[in-house]
Amino acid sequence: MKPAIVSRILHTRFTVSTKSLFLAAMLSVAMSMQAGEKSSTWPQAYSVKWDKAAGRITLATLFYAIEQDLKKGGAISRITLTHGKAANLLVGPTETYVCDENGKVLSDLRDTAPQVTHRRAGLNEIVTVECALTDEQGHASAVRVKSTFEYRWGYVKIHKEFLVPASGFRVREMCPFSTLLAPSLSHYGYREGATEEDGAPPFSFGSNRWRKLRAGEPADQPLQIRFVPRSMIFADPGVEGLEWFVSSDLSQWDLQLTGRRGQGRCALGLNHEPPGLALSIAPLWSTNTFTGLTNGCAFDYYLAVPLLEGHAQQPWLHTSFNRNKGNWVSAEEIRRWAEKGYQTVHCHNDGDYYDDGLFWRDGSYPPYPDMDGYDNVLKNCRQAGIRTATYFSNKELHPSTKEFQANGLAWGRMNSKGDLQHNFFRGKSEFGAQMCLRSGWLEFLKHSIDRVLQNHPLDGVYYDWNVALFCCNPRHEGKATNAVARGHWDMDELLDFMEWTRQRVGPKGLVIVHNTTTPMFALENFADYVVATEWGYGKWTNRAPDLRDLPLEWSLAGARSRGVISYGTIESKAPRRLHRVFALEALLGGVTPWTASPETFDLLPLLKPLGNIEQYRFADWRNEAVTLSDSRCGSAIYSRPGEAYVLLANLDQEAKEVTCVLHPDKLPHPLNRVTAATKLTPAGDTMDLDVRQWMGNGLKLNLRGDEATVMRIR
């Protein structure tokens, strides 16, 4: 084992009481497989510790540990990220309950002796639990729940089957998932469960609705909706997170119990004692009427966490190329890219940009008559040390392909009328028709990607439309072409596809995903880089938003290098200085403008004195180690044992005098004693700073407009 692995694990921020519990499990993982050699994008084995006396089973990887409480119905009672902050992302265990016709709550948590089994399946672990739903007095009811927990890489797939007596059982509420989340997971998004029938537009993208729920913030309202959301993502922004989402068969949640949509309830509210976010997701909910269950019913859902590696992310310097009327990127240009610092490029040519008909029609191969030009770009990039990918749309197939002509209707994503949706680039020039992965499209897409990777010197893939979408094609539900679909999305298939992708490109391959408005940890975990914020948020016209108003997906949980799309965010006619502020706000969030703008490169020298960025832990503008007197100024921290760098930026055009106070105990690696502080100038000079002043009443610093500065402390 490399010593670095141990030190990283020891630097996790567990509370003393929980530390011993998980440390042993995580250290044993580290020792058994030396997984520190591999990045978190590559699936690795779990270590499983079954402590019968304590009544718990712990499943751990280097990056997270999950515990099931065998004295409380076998429920998941702990989720801890090795490099996260909260000792447990769950303040209360996950609970399964029903409320019977008389209003009596029957819960799995009250079964103190559930039947539990465990087995391994390849790298995955499978835990099964059977328990009785039990009342407050400890009497088991006639309803039993059989659960299967399939532990995969970064996520757990959970199957819950309710078994009811032959005589039937009447319920007012049925809730397969309820819990109390850590209050720090206060920023969240949910993708609505409503369909066309309920007023959603046909072919809706279903972007997350973004909300916050913080104690002491009256503007943050609790959530209560009658449709089960398709997914919910919670984050302590830039720090960690947890998500819940449903499997592909949406009818389980929408129609199974009553045959009518909108009969459930998803509720999220503040809990005061203990502090937490009370979440319950019930496909059936009523305060006064009951539904008779005669058959059992099953629900499939997932829990996922971001795989945090516990270090700051390198700025991601990326650009793209296309055929450009046959004027392929020259070898000289690629050498200049490399000198400038570009790490990755991808071929992006999904539309007829030049009106010459020569573009990469989605799903076609070969796309160009001059594939040698494409290969030369890739070879020159490889020679220059730049990694390459090529564009694939996970959802689009061009109508000119023989596969579309043969299978378009069979594979297509349909609205309730059975129409396909064609996406257009300009006028009649088409990107492609939308497909659904819950069909033969999945295998064809894999084949299509494999064919390109086989034939060209690529490091990997760039995925557009990396998102599960609602679909009403009855063929994807095993029904006749003229039958009425009950509604599904292609979540299970998208996960399968991402796992396949990582295997296909290998542990050192390149995976870039684009997921504007619909980021998901479970999918991003298999990617090296994520592209965000192309659309869906307010455009910047003459002023950059305050840091607190940036979208959650700007940095999400900080687990992956992210590129934030400036051309999607800044109005084309906006003053150029907004690109500078965009780059400054990216710097303070630990992300990079995408594709890398001139302003990105202007700011890069600020990070040069740090050397290898991955030696540090990063804390974004929300850090508590630095306080500033002006809300239009921000800070970010790169911290390692014995040393830290503080970035300060002024997001306004005017120069400012700002008071800056340092709290070295709040650094990611706290400093007990600060002995020296210096300000670094772009010219490489240093200027000593008064440490006592900085930690006392604060330094008065003059910051030029739209400017950033770096300070080093030891």
Among 436, 565, 603, 625, binds Zn ion (CB under 5 A): 436
Q: Compare residues 66 and 435 and give the one whose CB is closer to Zn ion.
A: 435
What is the rounded CA–CA span in Å between residue 306 and residue 707? 32
Which residues is 349 bridged to in the sheet?
Answer: none
Closest CA to 224 of 275, 185, 177, 262: 262
Q: Are 237 and 555 in contact (CB under 8 A)?
A: yes
* Closest CB 249 distance from Zn ion, rounded Å: 11
Which two structure tokens, joined as six digits, stand for 640? Answer: 């390692």
What is the rounded CA–CA span in Å between residue 442 and residue 497? 7
Q: Compare residues 94 and 393 and give the one whose CB is closer to Zn ion.
A: 393
Among 261, 438, 502, 560, binds Zn ion (CB under 5 A): 438
Q: To which H or E segment does residue 17 belong?
A: helix 16-33
* Closest CB 449 distance from Zn ion, rounded Å: 20
Q: Compare residues 252 and 473 and give the one whose CB is closer to Zn ion.
A: 473
Q: Does 637 bind Zn ion (CB under 5 A)?
A: no
Closest CA to 312 of 538, 41, 644, 632: 644
What is the rounded CA–CA span in Å between residue 557 and residue 189? 13
Q: Which stretch binds Zn ion (CB under 5 A): 63-71, 121-129, 475-483, 517-525?
A: 475-483
* Closest CB 499 distance from Zn ion, rounded Å: 20
* Closest CB 467 distance from Zn ion, rounded Å: 13
Burial of 216 (0-12, 13-18, 19+ CB in 10 A): exposed
Q: Compare residues 436 and 711 and give the one whose CB is closer to Zn ion.
A: 436
* Closest CB 231 distance from Zn ion, rounded Å: 17
Closest CA to 96 of 129, 125, 58, 66: 129
Among 58, 343, 344, 473, binds Zn ion (CB under 5 A): 473
* Closest CB 300 distance from Zn ion, rounded Å: 16
- 3-state SS class at 403: helix
Q: CA separation (Å) from 615 to 178, 244, 312, 663, 677? A: 39, 32, 7, 21, 20
Q: Which stretch binds Zn ion (CB under 5 A): 74-82, 476-484, 635-643, 647-655?
A: 476-484
Q: Does 486 bind Zn ion (CB under 5 A)?
A: no
Q: Compare residues 78 and 261 and give the one whose CB is closer to Zn ion.
A: 261
Q: Compare residues 474 and 563 and give the one whose CB is closer to Zn ion.
A: 474
* Closest CB 86 distance from Zn ion, rounded Å: 37
Closest CA to 597 of 609, 608, 585: 585
Binding mask 149-188 for Zn ion (x = CB under 5 A): ----------------------------------------
Q: Compare residues 308 and 436 and give the one whose CB is closer to Zn ion.
A: 436
* Closest CB 436 distance from Zn ion, rounded Å: 3
Q: Compare residues 187 and 476 and give the one whose CB is closer to Zn ion.
A: 476
Q: Compare residues 177 and 470 and give the one whose CB is closer to Zn ion.
A: 470
Q: Which stretch binds Zn ion (CB under 5 A): 7-15, 228-236, 364-372, 434-442?
A: 434-442
Which stretches does DSSP call E strand in 323-394?
344-347, 387-393
Q: Does 468 bind Zn ion (CB under 5 A)?
A: no
Q: Does 475 bind Zn ion (CB under 5 A)?
A: no
Q: Which stretch binds Zn ion (CB under 5 A): 50-58, 102-110, 428-436, 695-703?
A: 428-436
Closest CA to 364 of 421, 413, 430: 430
Burial of 355 (0-12, 13-18, 19+ CB in 10 A): exposed
Q: Are 156 and 305 in contact (CB under 8 A)?
A: no
Among 8, 348, 387, 476, binds Zn ion (CB under 5 A): 476
* Closest CB 556 distance from Zn ion, rounded Å: 27
Q: Does 471 bind Zn ion (CB under 5 A)?
A: yes
* Closest CB 489 distance from Zn ion, rounded Å: 8
Q: Compare residues 8 and 438 and give the one whose CB is closer to Zn ion.
A: 438
| Count of residues of this chain found to bind Zn ion when the rule CB under 5 A is applied | 5
* Closest CB 492 distance from Zn ion, rounded Å: 11
Residues in 200-229 at the binding interface with Zn ion, rule: CB under 5 A? none
Closest CA to 366 of 356, 355, 358: 358
Q: Compare residues 377 and 437 and give the one whose CB is closer to Zn ion.
A: 437
State which amino acid sits at residue 89: L
Q: Compare residues 476 and 502 and give the one whose CB is closer to Zn ion.
A: 476
Which two structure tokens, joined as six digits, stand for 256? Answer: 């199974």
135-159 burial code (b ≥16 CB/10 A, e <16): eeeeeebebbbbbbbbbbbbbbbbb
What φ, ψ does residue 408 adopt, rounded to 5°?
Answer: -50, -45
Name residues whose C-beta falls within 8 Å of residue 632's C-beta, 6 or more positions apart in sequence. 546, 650, 651, 652, 656
Chain contacts with Zn ion (rule: CB under 5 A): 436, 438, 471, 473, 476
